[in-house]
Amino acid sequence: MSYIHIEHAGKSYVEQDQIFRALSDVNLDIERGELICLLGPSGCGKSTLLNAIAGFDLLDEGVVEIDGKKVNAPSTKNVTIFQNYGLLPWRTVIRNVELGLEQKSLKKEERRRIAEHYLQVVKLEAFKNRFPGQLSGGQKQRVAIARALAVEPDIIFMDEPFGALDAITRMKLQDDIVELCRNEKKTIIFVTHDIDEATYLADRVVVMTPNPGKIKAVIPVPLHHDRDRTSGDFLLVRDKIFDVLSMKVETDIEYNI
């Protein structure tokens, strides 16, 4: 069985006395160590699906299983990185990274060693004694990534983490995520509405459509980690994803490129 197994997932909400169908009959399998991008327009259920896998928002129908166990609540083995960073402004950078480690039975020296290591991973070791208010948006997101890595999670959930950043900073952080996948071998589920971002990051792109939220297609990205945004192969995959988003297809499709 796959590491993450999603079968016939459905989720509805009541809004102004009307039922809104956020997810309908979603089926997906994710392997350990994959980077999966959930891609689609606003309202297609990307974040709802991510929250269901993470255990924050339970399904009305179907099941999500991680490593053979049904997801009924968030797990301390997994972490979520949001767009708003979630840093504590009164803590220094290194003490923000240590935050999750404080729940573990670790000595202060060990917490500091681990935090310093992951600040090196995200190239922020020189900023460890600064406060979040002294950092740029991209630096704040790097601190959030270091904090997530420090607790050695099995899965990292990322909900449009770069959405508020300028284009250049966003591309630099995309490079960081690709390097992270290569070196740390983490399972990552990444929500985005940016086709280029999904093409650059993902092992597979899960294209979703709204009303109700469904998987339209699962598109493998047969590119190596050192991707060139201007290469013909990159543009071929990107254009395929664009075509799928533009087509009116009702059934799930597995594409091979």
DSSP state of 254: B
CA 90 to chain CA centroid, Å, is 27
Q: What are residue 81's DSSP bridge partners? A: 158
Give all strands of the β-sheet with 61-66 in edge-to-edge order. Answer: 18-30, 4-15, 61-66, 69-70
Q: What is the pLDDT along the chain (257 residues), one digit of tens a residue?
A: 799 999 999 999 887 778 888 999 999 999 999 999 999 988 899 999 999 999 999 999 999 999 999 999 999 899 998 877 789 999 999 999 999 898 888 889 999 999 999 998 888 999 999 999 999 988 998 899 899 889 989 999 999 888 778 888 888 888 888 887 778 788 999 999 999 999 999 999 999 999 899 999 999 998 877 788 999 999 999 999 999 988 654 444 555 54
Q: Where do the domains of the chain lie, and which CATH numbers do they carry?
A: 1-75+154-257 (3.40.50.300), 87-152 (no CATH)
Cβ contacts of 32 within 8 Å, gap of 6 or more = 3, 187
**Calpha distance 236→199 (Å, rounded):** 10
Q: What is the dihedral of CA 80, 39, 223, 167, to 10 degrees?
A: -80
Instruction: Copy the structure tokens of residue 137.
Output: 């948006």
Look-up of token digits 């994959």: 34
Instruction: Copy the structure tokens of residue 194.
Output: 């940016």
DSSP state of 10: E
Q: What is the dihedral of CA 55, 56, 62, 67, to 10 degrees?
A: -10
Look-up of token digits 């990051």: 201
CA distance between the termini of the chain: 25
CA distances from 31 to 1, 185, 189, 204 (A): 9, 12, 11, 11
